[in-house]
Structure 1
């Protein structure tokens, strides 16, 4: 049995592997705008880190987040990455006997947080042509009841890359209101989407929008995200947060500069990652048996089905790792459908993607010969 220490050693090896090509964690590895780095250097030079940051975040950053998302009347609470905010929401609002409803696939950690708070987790499958790779609101309507405390949707979905339509979001919001449930709308990947719609515009009183600076700005290691909700919901969350002494002042200064530079810097990032998506698709199209079910993706990643090619996802991940390329196996995201696919992240330098594509035919053949169990995280 693998342990948390095994998992930590695995990621410690990754972080300390010089030259590793990160095509597995949806992290953004493009250089930041110079103004972002300059803001953080100024923070270090002034040694601002001796003081605690405001508990809800720098006021300028809070306002900038709400403005960037276009959610007037809402308030932002800056968190130690979006995952810290999700932990806080689940532990604040989930109680023993409650129901927490989400999709399959979804992001796994909020399910763990809800279970730890005593809630029952219900997953609605969305992977497959029969589901259209997204949540049909009618299927959600059939499972909600008076015990439903939280509905959690990742939109765009990680790992699929699909998005809900505006009509679907409006109906999901109406369903949440009908049972007085909190609706967590995880919008981590919205900046990469071709089209995206906020549930908070339809159900402002109990929708909690989560957002991250890890993906679009590339701040994964700096840990800064946000919860955005109605003022009374933020007031409830502010009563007993995991960190009541404020998130990293260094990360917040950089995030604020990132918002200010976003309009001139991010369009190039978006164009490059979409170009990388096309390179990956072309590489798999040249091989037999592979399928990319959602293309183009509304995230900075692609799901690639491997079953038709007779390749186990874990085996292909292991071969790529031997060559210094990290990709993700489907079982990280879903136990039900994880044996069908790998995930390839593309908000990375194009030369990393080109290296992956060059290696792919050889790696596929090598992976076909691997049958032993492989421990991946």
Structure 2
């Protein structure tokens, strides 16, 4: 069952880090809700399963998975300290409390919105139009955009990069438009939602007030890993709209207290799929694909490569603020929290 769970996490390229961490939690619950061994062995097995889900699931999104599993182990540990053995009552209590924790994670979006709302009230509450650039598909950013448009009297100009190769930005734009139509926002004021190609990041960033970035990982120094295309969007805004603020919207669970993983590259077929849809590119795509699969002899010969890199890093020096569920934070706050998270994780995983 653990192997099946790991494969499910590894093959999931649609869920964001927050959703993937929720899936990891559900896998952990399914693994520990039964047991006929001693309490000590059961507790060690639970910690070992959590370690595997973190390290061998989807490491590029490992911060959220790690944090959710560490918090889950803290919940389990409280029950272990009260129990005499692995009884049905004990397993039922552990399962119920973990499910309650899973539900409570949904509240973090409300709290992140409160942090962003405070920033907007302080900096953009004059009624002037607010121009925002974002990319990819973040459930947190989607929710915050929706609430901002409904809650502020300003007109909004929302610009979303398409986010190749899976075009998650197109999906988010569609969901945002759908939710705004349902809420009748377009009857109250002007709201413009525009999709730009990734190559037009500089044009999309002209005169923007805010760049909103999600996070799959946040390093101890505040550097943020997000969907590829994030760094060009931020750099473009810094050049084309020098007064724009770059904000990261994320939960504390995105903070990774360890060295970040190596760059993740994914199936090049995702890139070829969009090329093949264009008839004039089909022959070119086939040529590149054939040379990308060709073996070279002794390091000689012609070989083409296609890179499908999912994530890239935005350095702390380009980020103006972090909106977390417990308020706005700076780089030093993130460093302090990373140390705390590492202490907890080391305690649970040291002897597994």
Instruction: Give your verdict on TM over 0.5.
Output: no
Greater RCO (CA < 8 Å, at least 6 residues apart): 1
TM-score after normalising by structure 2: 0.31
Larger radius of gyration: 2
TM-score after normalising by structure 1: 0.30
